A and B are shown apart, each in its own frame.
Chain A
């Protein structure tokens, strides 16, 4: 599912440049530790976290993750947004908490029919 569609479905705000295309995700991983995030990141994973710093984007970039979802309605810090614009990572801010956001995303992704499934 495309990240912008997913953001709408869970009531999250999408931070992206006009015309920026959003990547697709099929998995979600939520954590507040960087080691856990990088160990579980992949090219089809949306990373969910209550952290808020530029290293999140660096991890997403290294692992090819298409986007990040911050939680609790947090305003993304300027360094994070700036780096995200450079790397093309989509930033989503969920109004829900960490576990609730993960549960909502898992629920939406599980309803998506996958080719060959």
Chain B
């Protein structure tokens, strides 16, 4: 994978097009073919001119990864009040100077969309615009650069720490884990990034991948960086007056601004409440507050995909809030990491493990002081509206989604669901005990400041939700049916103890692993002396 970035100066018609020209030079060096190059040039030039014509400044990023080329152009500018209108040919707000030069015909965004295999525009009035374009490479060009599944994963596994206790395979709600003699194996197509394995493993095998420093000592903070953390991080330290002191320590680390993820969660819920009252919206509406819930719906409850609210998750929205400043996200779970990682290809957004950030904070925690303006009474949780159902914790959420799928939630218009207990504060990466963490937060002065200052907003998502293919045995239905038949036959030959000794959490899943070539048939210690019958395996 390679990523390139180029700055674009707004209003500079002399230098306009230089970023795209430099991109062309680099793409030519890695062998991008003429047909793809033509489409890239049109999309890139139009997006670059969009910045020159309308914005103060911007940046163009390009990434070649496997079989596709991603372009992303973000700017600080006026934003687009009506995207649907802007996508119509002939609509433009370009200046007279730009029109004199032949721009402003209202064909720029349509040109980009026409030359893209995937196209997205995200914009905030008064803040800026981000355009994303994905262009698939021809098959012969796909070998230019490749990536591995391991690079794309968001769960880190320290194999050497594994004691083989098997708790993780039973904790994983989507049966994405196996423990073999060589250590744990994650099936990435099944993983929803929920942090259950992290919570369950006492040996600390599982963690969150991070694109950042190797140790707390190397925690270099970029200039003018914005840190986005869950409030559970601020109140997760078992010390008096924790949020204020943790904030001070984070500022001492060099972060110019510290924002709470919950600001975007609150904005998302407010938008959701409004949408849930709109006629024709599938109910109950599920706002994408928790990206692990979104992944769960996409993989296990696809009939509820139309119920997912059409916005970015809070972590993605926070990343969009500052188009050109470095943003550091202390991801509360692997799902947040994945959501942010797939949402943006910019190198200005860094994801770090909250565990590593906590190590750095501990070294800088100032002495305790009296709270500045401690509230006289704890603040209550956000008001729950009639028709809203708040649920958290994997088991509860799965039961709620099952009920919703079966039409068993009459009168419920909105599902506010989080896979961690009590929301992000319940992440095992943030605090040992979420109830204490929440109590500390409610009693802190910071909890009052948060509401007063936030200008966070929900951001419409351009990329549609889609069913995840992880549970399908094969893209071809006929092949999948034959595989299922073999799995059923093999399962009948197994003892049905679901003991986990084979490394899979259930006999049926072990049978599936064998048929799919992921497990050795002899791994079941309770089967016939020579393993499952040959007939069943074929």
Contact = CB atoms under 8 A, between A and B. Distances in A.
A4 interface: no
A117 interface: no
Given A54-B14, A59-B45, A79-B14, A36 B21 contact: no
B83 interface: no
B396 interface: no
A61 B102 contact: no
A39 B102 contact: no
Nearest to B89: A35
Contacts of A56: 102
Interface residues of A, number: 22
A107 interface: no
A49 B34 CA distance: 25
Interface in B19-69: 20-21, 24, 34, 38, 41-42, 45-46, 49
B150 interface: no
B385 interface: no
Contacts of A63: 38, 41-42
A85 B3 CA distance: 31
Given A51-B101, A53-B102, A59 B107 contact: no
Interface string A11-41: 0000000000000000000001111111100
A49 B102 contact: yes
Nearest to B107: A35
Contact of A35 (B38, B41, B111): B111
B111 A58 contact: no
A42 interface: yes
Contacts of A37: 102
A60 B293 CA distance: 48
B17 interface: yes
Interface in A57-115: 58-59, 61-63, 79
A36 B13 contact: no
Contacts of B111: 35, 38-39
B108 A55 contact: no
A6 to B, nearest CB: 23
A32 B103 CA distance: 9
B16 to A, nearest CB: 6
B21 A42 contact: no
A33 B102 contact: yes
Contacts of B20: 62
B105 interface: yes
For the complex of A and B, the 5 pairs showing the least CB-CB separation, nearest first, are: A35-B107, A58-B17, A33-B105, A34-B102, A51-B102
Given A38-B42, A39-B107, A62-B20, 5 more contacts: A33-B103, A34-B49, A36-B105, A39-B42, A55-B103
29 contacts: A34-B49, A34-B101, A34-B102, A34-B103, A34-B105, A35-B46, A35-B103, A35-B107, A38-B41, A38-B45, A38-B46, A39-B42, A53-B13, A53-B101, A54-B14, A55-B17, A55-B101, A56-B102, A58-B16, A58-B17, A58-B21, A58-B45, A62-B17, A62-B20, A62-B24, A62-B41, A63-B38, A63-B42, A79-B14
